[in-house]
Structure 1
Amino acid sequence: MEKSIEKNQKISLALLVCLVGFPQISETIYTPSLTEIAQNYSISLNVAQMTLSVYFIAFAIGVFCWGIGSDYFGRRKAMNLGLVVYIVGCVLCALSKNIEWLFVGRFVQAFGASTGSVTTQTILRDNYQGNERHQLFAKISAALAFSPAIGPLIGGFLGEFYGFRAVFISLVIMGMGLLFWSLKKLPETGHFATKPVAAKQVITVGKSMLFDRYTIVFGLLIGIFNGILFSYHSEVPTIFIEKFGFTQSQYGFMGLVVATATMFGAWLSNRALHVLKPELIIQRGIQLALFGTLWISLTTVIYFNLVVQISLYIIGIFILLAGIGMALPNCLSLALVKFAAVAGTAGAWLSLGYYIVVSLCTLLISMLHNGSILVLPIFSMVLLMMALGSIKTVIRHQ
Structure 2
Amino acid sequence: MEKNIRTSKKINLALLICLVGFPQISETIYTPSLTEIAQSYGIPLNIAQMTLSIYFIAFALGVFFWGIGSDYFGRRKAMNLGIVVYILGCILCFVSKNIELLFVGRFIQAFGASTGSVTTQTILRDNYEGNERHQLFAKISAALAFSPAIGPLIGGFLGEFYGFRVVFAFLIVIGMILLFWCLRSLPETGNISSKRLNSKQVLSIGKNMLCDRYTVAFGVLIGIFNGLLFSYHSEAPTIFIEKFSFTQSHYGFMGCAVALAAILGAWLSSKLLKRKTPNLIIQSGIQLSLIGSLLLCVSSFLVLPIYMQVLVYILGIFIILTGIGMALPNCLSLALSKFSEAAGTAGAFLSLGYYIIVSICTFLISLLHTGSILIFPLFCTGLLLISMIFLKLAK
Normalised-by-shorter TM-score class: over 0.9
Aligned partners of 1:283 and 1:392 also within 8 Å:
no
1:17–1:391 CA distance, 2 compared to 1 (3 A) = closer
Match of 2:188 in 1: 188
What amino acid is the match of 2:216? I
Are positions 1:27 and 2:24 aligned together? no
Distance in 2 (CA, whole Å) between partners of 1:168 and 1:242 is 23
1:6–1:190 CA distance, 2 compared to 1 (3 A) = closer
Distance in 2 (CA, whole Å) between partners of 1:133 and 1:279 is 15
Superposed counterparts of 1:48-87, under 5 Å: 48-87=48-87
Cα deviation for residue 214 of structure 1 reads 1.7
Match of 2:101 in 1: 101
Distance in 2 (CA, whole Å) between partners of 1:54 and 1:316 is 28
- Percent identity between the aligned chains? 71
Aligned partners of 2:134 and 2:333 also within 8 Å:
no
Distance in 1 (CA, whole Å) between partners of 2:119 and 2:71 is 10
What amino acid is the match of 1:217? A
Distance in 2 (CA, whole Å) between partners of 1:186 and 1:51 is 31
Cα deviation for residue 128 of structure 1 reads 5.6
Cα deviation for residue 342 of structure 1 reads 2.8
- Give CA-to-partner distance per residue, 1:310-345, whole Å, 9 cap, x none: 001100111111111122222222222222333322
Structure 1: runs of 5+ lacking an equivalent = none
Cα deviation for residue 11 of structure 1 reads 3.2
- Give CA-to-partner distance per residue, 1:114-146, whole Å, 9 cap, x none: 111112222334456677766654443333342
Superposed counterparts of 1:1-398, under 5 Å: 7-126=7-126, 136-194=136-194, 196-394=196-394, 398=395
TM-score normalised to structure 2 length:
0.94
Aligned partners of 2:231 and 2:361 also within 8 Å:
yes
TM-score normalised to structure 1 length:
0.93
Aligned partners of 2:141 and 2:266 also within 8 Å:
no
What amino acid is the match of 1:166? V
Distance in 1 (CA, whole Å) between partners of 2:294 and 2:130 is 41
Cα deviation for residue 243 of structure 1 reads 0.7
What amino acid is the match of 2:296? I
3-state SS, counterpart of residue 188 of structure 2:
coil
3-state SS, counterpart of residue 338 of structure 1:
coil
What amino acid is the match of 2:182? S
Distance in 1 (CA, whole Å) between partners of 2:138 and 2:180 is 26
Cα deviation for residue 204 of structure 1 reads 0.4
Distance in 2 (CA, whole Å) between partners of 1:189 and 1:333 is 18
Task: Figure out how many residues of one structure are paired with residues of the other and give that number.
Answer: 395
Distance in 1 (CA, whole Å) between partners of 2:125 and 2:339 is 15
Distance in 2 (CA, whole Å) between partners of 1:272 and 1:6 is 28
Q: CA RMSD in A?
A: 2.3
Cα deviation for residue 393 of structure 1 reads 4.1
3-state SS, counterpart of residue 140 of structure 1:
helix
Aligned partners of 1:21 and 1:147 also within 8 Å:
yes
Structure 1 outlier segments of 4+, above 6 Å: 129-132
3-state SS, counterpart of residue 336 of structure 1:
coil
Distance in 1 (CA, whole Å) between partners of 2:180 and 2:321 is 35
Aligned partners of 1:63 and 1:115 also within 8 Å:
yes
Cα deviation for residue 81 of structure 1 reads 1.1
